[in-house]
Chain A
């Protein structure tokens, strides 16, 4: 099946730091505006089918070498499921740091004038 371009919303409807949850082509998706860069993901967590895109977006504790040592990183890259807290890379949809090989579907975003489109198969 070919990827089809689907119109979502006017770009101005999703200001920086905001998100839009909507249904496109019969699928619930979330579109995030992170400092002017747009990401689109399926709004279904691959773990227990929770509404992933209602989760918090931020950073997380990246792997460290020693017990008791914390390092916060990946700010604005980590989408955390509102149910069990599984963490995904918002850009790739991959679960972070080997917690699972399951991933959430992501969709390319295109902007033409003030119109935001996603590509979906």
Chain B
């Protein structure tokens, strides 16, 4: 198949890594906190590992020559991702920081979130202006999370707020201080699988029970996004925060049409439960929520995927992502090759440029 011509590309899901977890964050922790973490400097892994070399989700061939894990060297990533695929901006979100969801202690999670942010602001954003940061927050303490957003959210390198979720749905007003701060600073909030789901008491639970393999937990990631998006729309988050945007990263997207329709169908029946919605719920979703492309969904026939893109209004709602340096990363030239060129431009660049204010 011919390689589709590419114009400009924004990559909305890229994962940098801090070698040694908390060990690597030490320069950004007070001596008291370094002492507090002594002897437990590693963040825990989900017990269900990918059945890949090293049981890691990081590509073996993305290891930088400088040593360390794939994704840990901003100079190597510049060559291996930005230059190689001609990416204009890469939105960095730390899935390593997603492991904060395993911590039962709000003080620890808050301090580590701040250290992750200072690390990436100092050691990544300074390397190349194409790097943009989805800063992380510890949602364990929403008031402190809001402070953190106001502390660094003004930095022009910070373009989103990554919320590693606890087992509380996003429509819950528990999170409202975070949304208030994000809206105030014009930053979308971003959710992404934390990789801890179903594995820890504080992490997001899977519906029905606990999966028993990596293939199983990976396959059912979408249910987390479905529950949270539906919760936000119906609980009136976008009524309360009319300028807030949400990025749903790496949760798939072919399920979106079903939930657009199902939301509206149920609203016609049960509107009186949520009388604060000013119009059908699907309109809130289309206006406020964006989905990333990776992993590109492999439909039985390419035309099926095109139909779904149309059903989900992908020219507004879908944004390209690689997920570099993970095992299942997509590259721009091989992604959505069958989509019409005008839609590709929206997906690969314009939707994200508008979302993050990078136009």
Question: Chain A interface (Cβ within 8 Å of chain B)?
Answer: 47, 60-71, 84-87, 95-100
Q: How far is the CB of B173 from chain A (nearest CB, A)?
A: 8
The reply to whether A63 and B278 contact each other, CB–CB distance below 8 Å, is yes
Bound-complex Cα distance A67 to B279 (A): 14
CB A9 to nearest CB in B, in angstroms, measures 32
B267 touching A66, Cβ below 8 Å: no
Interface of A is mostly: loop
Q: Is there contact, CB below 8 Å, between A99 and B236? A: no
Stretch in B62-70, B268-276, B291-299, B300-308 touching the partner: B268-276
The answer to whether A98 touches B240, judged by C-beta atoms less than 8 angstroms apart, is: no
Give the residue of B235, B240, B272 whose beta carbon is less than 8 angstroms from that of A60. B272
Query: Contact: B239 with A67, CB < 8 Å?
Result: yes
Interface string of B5-45 (1 = CB under 8 A from A): 00000000000000000000000000000000000000000
Q: Which residues from B are CB-within-8-Å of A98?
A: 279-280
Beta-carbon contact of B271 and A68 below 8 Å = no
Q: Which residue of A lies closest to B267 (CB)?
A: A99
User: In the complex, A66→B267 CA distance in Å?
Assistant: 17
- Shortest distance from the beta carbon of A64 to any chain B beta carbon, whole Å: 5
- A67 and B272 form a contact (CB under 8 A): no
Tell me if A85 and B239 are in contact (CB < 8 A). Answer: no
CB pair B268 A65 closer than 8 Å: no
Cα–Cα distance between A47 and B269 once the two chains are bound (Å)? 10
User: From residue A71, how far is it (CB to closest CB) to chain B in Å?
Assistant: 7
Residues of chain A within 8 A (CB-CB) of B239 are: 65-67
Measured in the bound complex, the distance between the Cα atoms of B274 and A60 in whole Å is 11
Closest to B236 in A: A67
Are A85 and B236 interface neighbours, CB within 8 A?
A: no
Q: In the complex, what residues of A have CB within 8 A of residue B271's CB?
A: 61, 87, 96-97, 99
Q: Are B275 and A63 in contact (CB under 8 A)?
A: yes
Take A61-B275, A62-B275, A98-B280 as given contacts and tell me if A67 and B240 are in contact as well, using a CB distance cutoff of 8 Å.
yes
A47 partner residues in chain B, CB cutoff 8 A = 268
Please give, as numbers and ranges, the residues of chain B lying within 8 Å of A95 by CB-CB distance.
268
Q: Is the CB of A68 within 8 A of B236?
A: yes
Q: A63-B276, A70-B275, A95-B268 are in contact. List 19 more A-B contacts (CB 8 A).
A: A60-B272, A61-B271, A63-B278, A64-B276, A65-B239, A65-B276, A66-B240, A67-B236, A67-B237, A69-B276, A84-B269, A85-B269, A85-B270, A86-B269, A96-B271, A97-B271, A98-B279, A99-B267, A99-B280
The 9 A-B residue pairs whose C-beta atoms are closest, nearest first, are: A67-B236, A61-B272, A61-B275, A99-B268, A84-B269, A85-B269, A67-B276, A60-B272, A64-B276
What is the distance, in angstroms, from A41's C-beta to the closest C-beta of chain B? 19
Give the Cβ gap from B186 to chain A, nearest Cβ, in Å: 21
